[in-house]
């Protein structure tokens, strides 16, 4: 299992930087809102504020796409919407399959943001026979045995995994074998995929843990002026790693199960 290469070499010289690509949807959303209000043009300063980024960063981002602005005026909203949409590949229709129609999967299927921007849910797939046929988001759930057929018949290249962690890798393998080359993973697991397959990962509990870290730091700082030592616990488990290797001693607080 020497796979596991989830990140790409990113040696695209004339490519658009990853960080820029990640912001393009942000700009697109802000521009769409302006478009709906029939705003004809927008300056980098205004658009940057709406997207929550620095204006210099925004201009540099757009410079990778080309010179689409007019100096002294700004950017044409409609034109920019089209250019970014095209760059992101949203001018075409992307059929996607969603595997794992539990609580989260059903919520995602119902989530409007999925279907609204060029993405079309081609099928909902689950491994639970009692789910099969039940309508979710106006669409009958299909059995996982049909996964390969569904992917092939619909030309699906993007899959969404919302299964439990234990099933995710297996589902991933089947999706990849069937021809899917991009995966959005909601299961709390690291997926191994061959080269050429992109995986993006959304993990709810990880985000919370990152917030908790910052929250703890804030709380620790306002306690006093201590700048070096952590605020609280520093006594228990303050042993050297070597001697801490004994066997079944459960003095650690059970922080989590899975």
Partner DNA sequence: CCATCTTTGTGCACGCGTTCACAAAGACAT
Partner DNA sequence: ATGTCTTTGTGAACGCGTGCACAAAGATGG
Question: Taking CB under 8 A as the criterion, which residues in 127-146 touch a second copy?
Answer: none
Q: How far is the CB of 24 from DNA (least distance, A)?
A: 12
For residues 50 to 79, the per-residue mask of contacts with DNA, x marking binding by CB under 7 A and - elsewhere, is ---xxxxx-xx-xx---xxxxxxxxx----
Q: Which stretch binds a second copy (CB under 8 A): 35-43, 127-135, 142-150, 168-176?
A: 35-43
Q: How far is the CB of 180 from DNA (least distance, A)?
A: 25
Q: Which stretch binds a second copy (CB under 8 A): 21-29, 127-135, 144-152, 167-175?
A: 21-29
Taking CB under 7 A as the criterion, which residues in 102-121 touch DNA? Answer: none
**Using the rule CB under 8 A, which residue among 47, 59, 73, 167 binds a second copy?**
73
**Using the rule CB under 7 A, which residue among 242, 255, 256, 258 binds DNA?**
242
Tokens for 89, please give them. 């590949």
Taking CB under 7 A as the criterion, which residues in 155-214 touch DNA? Answer: none
Strands (E), 82-236: 94-99, 119-126, 141-143, 158-161, 182-185, 198-201
**Using the rule CB under 8 A, which residue among 34, 42, 81, 151 binds a second copy?**
81
Cβ-contact 184, 162 below 8 angstroms: no
Tokens for 116, please give them. 């609204």
Sheet hosting strand 41-42, strand order edge to edge? 41-42, 74-76, 69-70
| Residue 100 labeled ligand binder | yes
Q: Indicate the SS3 state at residue 79.
A: helix
Q: Indicate the SS3 state at residue 202.
A: coil
Query: Is there binding between residue 210 and a second copy (CB under 8 A)?
Result: yes
Tokens for 141, please give them. 């759930």
| Residue 72 labeled ligand binder | no
| Residue 244 labeled ligand binder | no
Cβ-contact 46, 71 below 8 angstroms: no
d(CA 60, CA 17): 11
Residues near 177 by beta carbon (within 8 Å), at least 6 away in sequence = 148
| Residue 26 labeled ligand binder | no
**Using the rule CB under 8 A, which residue among 59, 64, 117, 143 binds a second copy?**
117
Q: Which does 214 bind (CB under 5 to 8 A by kind): DNA, a second copy, none?
A: a second copy
| Residue 112 labeled ligand binder | no
Query: Where is 189: in which H helix or E strand?
Result: none
d(CA 214, CA 220): 10
d(CA 43, CA 87): 20
Q: Which is nearer to a second copy, 145 or 244 (CB)?
A: 244
Question: Residues marked as binding for NAD(+)?
Answer: 100-105
Question: Residues marked as binding?
Answer: 100-105
> Which spans of this chain sit near DNA (rule: CB under 7 A)?
2, 4, 7, 9-11, 17-20, 43-45, 53-57, 59-60, 62-63, 67-75, 242
């Amino acid at each position: 299992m020497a796979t596991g290469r989830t990140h790409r070499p990113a040696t695209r010289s004339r490519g658009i930087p990853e960080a820029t690509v990640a912001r393009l949807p942000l700009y697109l959303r802000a521009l769409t809102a302006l478009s709906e209000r029939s705003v004809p043009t927008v300056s980098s300063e205004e658009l940057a504020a709406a997207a929550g980024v620095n204006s210099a960063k925004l201009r540099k981002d757009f410079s990778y796409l080309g010179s689409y602005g007019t100096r002294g005026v700004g950017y044409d909203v409609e034109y920019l919407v089209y250019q970014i949409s095209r760059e992101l590949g949203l001018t075409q229709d992307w059929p996607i399959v969603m595997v794992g129609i539990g609580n989260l999967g059903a919520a995602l299927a119902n989530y409007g943001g999925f279907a609204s921007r060029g993405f079309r849910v081609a099928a909902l797939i689950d491994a639970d026979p009692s789910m099969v046929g039940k309508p979710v988001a106006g669409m009958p759930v299909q059995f996982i045995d049909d996964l390969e057929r569904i992917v092939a018949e619909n030309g699906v290249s993007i899959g969404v995994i919302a299964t439990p962690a234990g099933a995710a890798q297996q589902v991933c393998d089947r999706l990849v074998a069937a021809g899917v080359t991009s995966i959005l993973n909601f299961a709390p697991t690291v997926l191994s995929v061959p080269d050429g397959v992109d995986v993006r990962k959304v993990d709810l509990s990880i985000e919370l843990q990152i917030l908790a870290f910052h929250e703890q730091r804030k709380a620790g700082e306002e306690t006093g002026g201590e700048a070096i030592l952590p605020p609280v616990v520093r006594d228990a488990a303050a042993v050297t790693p070597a001697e801490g290797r004994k066997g079944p001693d459960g003095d650690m607080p059970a922080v989590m199960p899975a």
